[in-house]
Chains A and B, each alone.
Chain A
Amino acid sequence: MATEKVFARKASGLVRGLSMVDAFGVGLMNIGLSPSMFFMISVGLLIYPGGNLIIAAILGFLLGGISFPLVWGILGGSMPRSGGEYVYNSRIISPLVAAAESFGNAFAWVLWICTLAPYVVNPGLTMLFGFLGLDYLNEYVTSFWGLFLLSSLVNLLGFLLLAFGMKFYAKAQRVAMAIGLLGTVVCLLVLTFSSHEIFVSSWNALAAKYSSLDYNAFLTAASQAMTDAGAVLPTTWNWPDTIGLMIAGSWLIIYSYAVAFIAGEVKRPDKTLLGGSFFACLIPTIIMVWCGIVLYRTVGYDFTVAASYVDGAGAGLAGYTFPWSTHFMGLAAILNQNPIVLGLFAISFIAFSVWFVAMSYLAFPRILFAWGMDRIGPKWFTDINYHTATPIKTMALLFVIGEILLVPFCYYNDFRAGFVVTTLEIVSVFGVTAVAAVMFAYRKKVKNIWDASPYKNWKILGIPVITLAGILNLIYLTILFYGFFFTIEGFQWWPYITFAIIWLLGIAWYFFWKRRNRKTGIDVDMAFGELPPD
């Protein structure tokens, strides 16, 4: 059929304008490339030293990189509204489950501030100071007060990026993305265009300059440190640790789900969301595979593991006196001492991390706004500032809660805190949405939506693709949950007890507002109640 068979009359209506490239950009921004790579390499190899970065990245893509775009793309393409998972879960499962899930999600956004604002300081600022020869400042910035005050400034910066409205935010976003991507790619190019011999000789030259351990001595000392900590420096990779490393690399996949928040604005949502989120998983995977290849080739397999272990443990290594740590950008810095290039590495990391914090100020007020509209929260949750059209009051609330929770996070300052937030999201956001995906084709209450879905006829062996994708997604999420929950020693129970309390609080919150509003004659169930069309 060559011609477009539709007639339109003069009536107000929007033409959806966002392309697949735009959708890809939104997914990629939410992934935050270099902090996610840092998390997989330094934190992942600390816990799973026998993991293979290349195989873990590919495995993660095969399990999550296909099922995530299918679940979020098909749900978004079938219900093209810009409300994210709340739209799907409230319609397919139930409004109560969607409300409880969004309570957990709101808390997760607060925790991202507490996790990632300190990332801006360490390893972000410490990396910058180390690269620029200002490493004497690191002692101050990584002390409790230094970390807390600087993290508070990052928290304030996140607030200000949104406080002046979306136009300002959008401009800042483009700058952050450009710097972030450029720094990461340049870092990998530096590693790509150097040989192992050059790396070793460069390391040894710097070791002489800083009176530090040479290449072999570092390897020996790191191996001993690992042995002392009950670990072993592997000579080759193994499958259990590679699966563990895949779990640590999940940030590179799962946060592509942000495309769901622009579903109402994209052209051809049936193709754009699916394609945008697929490429937002594929490109970071390719970059991570590229990173793994050049690290193993240029730096060496065992040295990469040893260096990442030392960086992830964060306790330093006796005799190692380079002014920066041995994360993947620090390893690239061995090969290029140009201060502009080094500054770009560090600033790209900082830009992505700051961006994560700003994203909390975008998402959290919108969740509270939805609660306010549904009357499961105070009316002021829906207040919008006249001049900037921003929800200043709920943003201020987020700032205050963020400040309070920054105290324990800065006190303990453990990179692994990111695992905690992701675990909360696995259950409260991704898990619930995967269940909704499994149910979508069979749920009577959304039959009309399914019948109109462009994916209705997508089937494998008679089973709808969305159902299969939901099941694959649940398998992937179960592996992630198991990994986060059971395999991280010494970091197991308190966050999960907190989660249980949060979910109980979410249910209590819902019923408190339901009861309170009933007294004034308003039944909260009206906000979600099914209305029969016939």
Chain B
Amino acid sequence: MRIFFVSDIHASNHCYRKYLNALKIYKVDVGILLGDLTGKLLIPLVEKAGGGWETNFLGRPVEVNTQEELASLKKTIEMVGYYWIHLTPDEFNAMSSSPQKQDSIFKRLALERLTEWMALADERLKDTGLKVYMAAGNDDIFEVDNIIQNSSTMVNCNDQVVMVGDHEMATFSWTNPTPWDTPREKPDEELEPMLEVLISKIKNKEKSIFNFHAPPHGFALDLAPQLSKDLIQAVDRKIHVGSLSVTKMIKKYQPFLSLHGHIHESRGIQKMGKTTMINPGSEYSEGVLRGVVLEIEKGKLKDYIFTSG
């Protein structure tokens, strides 16, 4: 059985379309797309007095004057996983002073894009026989689960145990606390009982797959730059930011495979006892789809290859 596992594409249209195509190109039997699925930034395209639009994009001021330039900018914004909205200067000022309004527009745009994605999957994967499992991550609002649920081809596997070939797979979208106070995060003491409940549904734990968004704490899969109080990353200090409860669960139940995401820069593979733990990393902001193809045979991970397309 061949699995293609990807995580953290953060609303990148490019990465999502590449993912759908990769399922066929890599000739996989099963696809797993783990969160985070939604984007982080909203780019307001503000009307200029004399015509055209202005904004800030990728840290620099940008002005466009023609419809062609505008279309090209929108496509690039979507490629890197951001959202865009047309605003007059007055609307921009009103939105700048209203966090509630920003939240509501973010939510609407995030769900709209995800709905478009599900429609695209239904169109492209129909009649292919491919099984694709999808779940949210800590950055994703709870409404995301319902959108996936409504797809006819994608299987929402969040907080469930599903069969992947002969293997039971448990999926968990929550993480330990981050500095950003994201929608799905809790202290490790609270995550542990949640994980225990989920794992208790697995019959054969040794042959199971853990599909947990948070990587285990203390490995090469959870190294991130240390942050200052202002969330500025340190020059050269990296620290472990993974979940202690995830480490505990893997150590205790020893599934043969454990899939993770969350820490984009810690792409890697590592063993803990009988468990092979993998984080494929993410480079969504450049439209690059990072993932890992897994060959599973006779209940074991026979081989793997990290991909970058």
* Chain A interface residues toward B at CB < 8 A: 1, 3-18, 22, 79, 81-82, 166-167, 169-170, 173, 264-265, 267-270, 373-375, 379, 382-384, 386, 389, 448-449, 451-452, 454, 517, 520-524, 526-534
Contact = CB atoms under 8 A, between A and B. Distances in A.
Nearest to A385: B220
B303 A373 contact: no
A245 to B, nearest CB: 35
A384 B22 CA distance: 29
A22 B236 CA distance: 10
A528 B308 contact: yes
B305 A522 contact: yes
Contacts of B306: 373-375, 527
B166 interface: no
Given A12-B36, A17-B235, 20 more contacts: A4-B56, A5-B43, A5-B56, A6-B41, A7-B41, A9-B41, A15-B230, A16-B233, A17-B225, A167-B236, A170-B237, A265-B233, A269-B59, A382-B269, A449-B286, A451-B76, A522-B305, A529-B25, A531-B25, A534-B17
23 contacts: A1-B61, A6-B42, A6-B56, A8-B40, A11-B182, A14-B227, A14-B233, A16-B233, A81-B283, A81-B286, A265-B233, A269-B59, A373-B306, A374-B305, A389-B238, A451-B72, A521-B2, A523-B305, A524-B305, A526-B26, A529-B307, A532-B17, A533-B14
A124 B212 CA distance: 53
A389 B237 contact: no
Nearest to A16: B233
A9 B232 contact: no
B58 to A, nearest CB: 7
Which of B61, B102, B286 gathers the greatest number of chain A CB atoms within 10 Å? B286
A384 B270 contact: yes
Interface of B: 2, 13-14, 17-18, 21-22, 25-26, 36, 38-44, 46, 54-61, 72, 76, 79-80, 92, 95-96, 102-103, 105-106, 138-139, 178-183, 218-220, 223-225, 227-228, 230-238, 240, 262, 265, 267-270, 283, 286-287, 289, 293, 295, 302-309
- 4 closest cross-chain pairs (CB), A and B: A531-B309, A384-B220, A17-B232, A531-B18
Contacts of B79: 448, 452
A517 B303 contact: yes
Nearest to B175: A12
A477 B27 CA distance: 44
A533 B18 contact: yes
Which of A8, A169, A373, A517 gathers the greatest number of chain B CB atoms within 10 Å? A373
Nearest to A453: B58
Nearest to B19: A531
Interface residues of A: mostly helix, strand, loop or mixed? loop
A167 to B, nearest CB: 6
Contact of B182 (A4, A10, A18, A173): A10
Contacts of B270: 383-384
Contact of A5 (B39, B54, B228): B54
Which of A169, A382, A528, A531 gathers the greatest number of chain B CB atoms within 10 Å? A531
Which of A3, A5, A528, A534 gathers the greatest number of chain B CB atoms within 10 Å? A5
B21 A531 contact: yes
Nearest to B232: A17
A522 B41 CA distance: 37
A374 B305 CA distance: 6
Contacts of B218: 386
A9 B41 CA distance: 7
A107 to B, nearest CB: 24
A527 B308 contact: yes
Contacts of B228: 17
Given A7-B42, A521-B295, A532 B106 contact: no
B96 A3 contact: yes
Nearest to B271: A383
A438 B105 CA distance: 42
A533 to B, nearest CB: 4
A518 to B, nearest CB: 10
A12 B7 CA distance: 14
Contacts of B224: 14
B235 A22 contact: yes
Contacts of A81: 283, 286
B26 to A, nearest CB: 6
Which of B25, B225, B305 gathers the greatest number of chain A CB atoms within 10 Å? B305
Given A6-B43, A517-B305, A522-B305, A12 B182 contact: yes
B307 to A, nearest CB: 5
Nearest to B107: A9
A264 B72 CA distance: 25
Contacts of B219: 384, 386
Nearest to A529: B309
B293 A532 contact: no
Contacts of A533: 13-14, 17-18, 21, 287
Contact of B58 (A10, A265, A454): A454
Nearest to B295: A521
A369 to B, nearest CB: 8
Which of B46, B59, B224, B267 gathers the greatest number of chain A CB atoms within 10 Å? B59
B225 A389 contact: no
A122 B299 CA distance: 58
B60 A270 contact: yes
Contact of B76 (A386, A452, A532): A452
Given A3-B96, A375-B305, A533-B17, A12 B76 contact: no
Nearest to A3: B96
Contacts of B61: 1, 5
Contacts of A520: 295, 302-303
A167 B237 contact: yes
Given A373-B268, A532-B21, A522 B58 contact: no
Contacts of B42: 6-9
Given A6-B41, A81-B283, A449-B286, A11 B180 contact: yes
Nearest to B42: A7
B138 A8 contact: no
Contacts of A7: 41-44, 95-96, 102, 105-106
A443 to B, nearest CB: 15
A452 B227 contact: no
Contacts of B95: 7
Contact of B106 (A4, A9, A383, A521): A9
Contact of A452 (B54, B58, B92, B262): B58
